[in-house]
Amino acid sequence: MRVLTIAAHPDDETLGSGGTMARLAAQGHEVWVCILTDGVTARHQHIDLQQECAIKAGDVLGVANVVFCGLPDQRLDGMPLLEVITPIEKCVAELQPNVVFTHFNQDANQDHRVTFQATLVATRPVEGTSVEEVLCYETASSTEWAPPFSGTVFAPNVFVDITETLPTKLEAMRQYEGTFAGEIRPYPHPRSYQALEACARRHGAAAGVGAAEPFMLVRQLVRSKRNGDGWHW
């Protein structure tokens, strides 16, 4: 299986699906990350350092390739959507992923919302597509800050057991301490180590496991195979 995590900023990929990527990579699946923006130029210009930390985090998780698209941080909502779709389509064409993880469409961060919109187009179910599943992940300090109105609340219906890979996820997040403006915050910020672990444990309790990452299933394609006695999943 080939897996692609699409993230607006460096660290979103680890926050959202780090434990799941580590689990899948350990099982021998090919895992890529596509990071759309530089993630920093709204605050500072240390882009190279941010990318170095993202690569280190990917190495911890077992990611085979991290693709940096270099779009401007916190400005995706001011760009033509096609300019965001195009680099995602390029990644999809190169990797031919079976599973795609991306942001929740109602996150408080506008880059996250645009990333979802662009991903939905880039993974549309046209004939010959490799993409069989598209899922939204939860991004700490953005997803839970969406307004509490109907249709805007993250309501996971898929849980991945990351009991064994939660320490790996937290170690990957530690790589982001080395950024110019560290992405880790002291507790009780949602991006503190304590809060990240507590969140994983809470979702695990909801799913009956030690720790879990939650997802919302956007689309699932179940392919048919022709056998002698008819069509079967």
Rg (CA), the chain: 17
Over residues 1-18, the mean pLDDT reads 98
Q: Is the pLDDT of residue 44 over 90?
A: no
Say which residue the tokens 């993202």 belong to: 54
* pLDDT 10s digits, 135-170: 999 999 999 999 999 889 999 999 999 999 999 999
Supply the pLDDT for residue 91. Answer: 98
Say which residue the tokens 């990240």 belong to: 196
Percent of the chain with pLDDT strictly greater than 90: 87
Q: Give the pLDDT band (50/70/90) at residue 180.
A: low
Domain ranges of the chain: 2-221
Over residues 28-57, the mean pLDDT reads 93
- Integer CA distances (angstroms), 199 to 162, 208, 213, 222, in order: 12, 14, 9, 31
CB 19 within 8 A of CB 62: no
Supply the pLDDT for residue 178. Answer: 82
- Domain 2-221 of CATH type 3.40.718.10: no
Supply the pLDDT for residue 224. Answer: 75
Percent of the chain with pLDDT strictly greater than 70: 95
- Among the ranges given (36-50, 59-73, 125-139, 192-206), the one the predictor scored with the smallest mean pLDDT: 36-50
Supply the pLDDT for residue 225. Answer: 64
Question: With b meaning 16 or more CB within 10 Å and e meaning fewer, what string describes 10-39?
Answer: bbbbbbbbbbbbbbbbeeebbbbbbbbbbb
Supply the pLDDT for residue 231. Answer: 39
Over residues 205-211, the mean pLDDT reads 98
Q: Give the pLDDT band (50/70/90) at residue 233.
A: very low
* pLDDT 10s digits, 78-134: 999 999 999 999 999 999 999 999 999 999 999 999 999 999 999 999 999 999 999
Supply the pLDDT for residue 37. Answer: 97
Supply the pLDDT for residue 96. Answer: 98
Tell me the two tokens of residue 5. Answer: 């995590």
The dihedrals phi and psi of 6, each to the nearest 5 degrees, come to: -105, 125
Nearest-angstrom CA–CA distance, 65 and 14: 14
My answer on whether omega of the bond before 188 falls inside 30° of 0, hence cis, is: yes
Pairing of strands 230-232, 225-227: antiparallel
Please provide the average confidence, as pLDDT, over all residues in the chain.
Answer: 94
